[in-house]
């Protein structure tokens, strides 16, 4: 269900700092007061939804082995999964985490796991691990998508703001100063998570260490094979037509067009992503630190990293 966006008599200015209406302040206060009730809701609903997902995966396995779209959150993997699901004869299971250290363990779970990775609450994780990893020895096709770590961080912080990072001030966020929001982002978000995913999730699950094996950065995609895993790794920024062509070559069949899905503005507080993106222009040290992460060094060549730096600073 799409969250209700703040309703105001006058829109907040681009830099924030105007005072939100009393109704917005009250709803944020009630969000805090309602936290115990939400915890109870989560405890009751999650097992039911998880059980429904288990049935769905069992039904898929009865028809054949689905393609596993296995990628970190907010990497445009939904667009890839949707294209495959629209392709005749194909279906997918989409999952972000398969290692239990990153599973949601209950309402009091921290959004950051002990290893510094994002933790994600999702109903398909345990079922996918049980049925696709441990319940079968059949060959498994896997698609993973890599996104520029700066875009990944801003997108995750804002898209999951209401659920995790900005839960107690999500409605007031459009009125807060950009400096305050950026400092909160800097202080609370696990900035290396997108890079850690490739070792703590992908390599731990498939046995394929892309940092060691390398990646064809000029092309933007590469196939890896290890044991029962046949993996296609795509970079999110390559043209959607190139993604489609790579998937078609890998699967040896025509694939439906890859189209944008699950846009950030469906969940983010209005204007916050754009303001943080603008603020990033004044943060060259942050940009350099993100482009020095192993994932950026592996998936982008030097010229591409220079272009990314210039893009974020302009």
Bridge partner list, 94: 69
Q: How many Å apart are CA 79 and CA 81, to the nearest integer?
A: 6
pLDDT digits (tens, 9 = 90+) for 96-135: 999 999 998 887 889 999 999 999 889 999 999 999 998 8
- Which DSSP letter does residue 214 get? -
Per-residue pLDDT tens digits for 35-91 = 776 767 777 788 899 999 999 999 999 999 999 999 999 999 999 999 999 999 999
Structure tokens at 252: 């040896």
Give the DSSP H/E element, type plus range, for residue 164: none
Closest to 146 in 3D by CA, of 292, 258, 295: 295
Task: Report the predicted TM-score, pTM, of the whole model to 2 decimal places.
Answer: 0.88
**What is the rounded distance in angstroms from the CA atom of residue 207 to the CA atom of residue 195?**
16
Where would I find the beta strands (DSSP E) of 193-291? 221-226, 229-235
Question: If you search the block for the tokens 């094996």, which residue do you land on?
Answer: 213
**Residues 100 and 133 sit within 8 Å (Cβ to Cβ):** no
Look up residue 112 and give its DSSP letter.
B
Query: CB-based contacts of 47: which residues, under 8 Å, 6+ apart?
Result: none
> Tokens 């999500």 belong to which residue?
170
Hey, what are 112's tokens? 């950051």
- Model confidence over 262-288: pLDDT tens digits? 666 667 788 999 999 999 999 999 999
Q: How far out from the chain centre does Cα 47 lie?
A: 22
């Amino acid at each position: 269900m799409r969250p209700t966006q703040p309703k105001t008599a006058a829109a907040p200015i681009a830099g924030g700092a105007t005072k939100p209406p009393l109704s917005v302040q009250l709803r944020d206060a009630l969000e805090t007061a309602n936290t115990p009730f939400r915890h109870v809701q989560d405890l009751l609903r999650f097992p039911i939804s998880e059980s429904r997902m288990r049935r769905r995966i069992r039904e898929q396995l009865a028809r054949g082995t689905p393609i596993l779209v296995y990628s970190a959150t907010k990497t445009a993997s939904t667009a890839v999964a949707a294209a495959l699901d629209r392709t005749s004869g194909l279906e997918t299971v989409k999952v972000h985490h398969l290692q239990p250290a990153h599973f949601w363990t209950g309402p009091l779970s921290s959004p950051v796991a002990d290893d510094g990775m994002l933790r994600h609450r999702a109903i398909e994780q345990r079922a996918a691990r049980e049925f696709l990893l441990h319940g079968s020895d059949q060959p498994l096709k896997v698609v993973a998508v890599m996104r520029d770590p700066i875009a990944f961080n801003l997108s995750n912080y804002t898209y999951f703001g209401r659920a995790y990072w900005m839960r107690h001030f999500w409605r007031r966020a459009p009125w807060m100063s950009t400096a305050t929001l950026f400092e909160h982002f800097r202080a609370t978000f696990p900035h290396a998570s997108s890079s850690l995913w490739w070792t703590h999730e992908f390599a731990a699950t498939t046995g394929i260490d892309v940092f060691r094996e390398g990646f064809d950065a000029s092309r933007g995609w590469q196939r890896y094979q290890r044991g029962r895993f046949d993996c296609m790794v795509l970079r999110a920024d390559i043209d959607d037509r190139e993604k489609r062509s790579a998937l078609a070559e890998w699967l040896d069949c025509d694939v439906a067009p890859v189209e944008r899905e699950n846009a950030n503005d469906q969940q983010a507080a209005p204007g916050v992503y754009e303001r943080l993106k603008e603020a990033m222009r004044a943060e060259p040290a942050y940009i350099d630190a993100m482009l020095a992460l192993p994932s950026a060094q592996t998936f982008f060549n030097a010229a591409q990293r220079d272009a990314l730096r210039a893009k974020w600073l302009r």
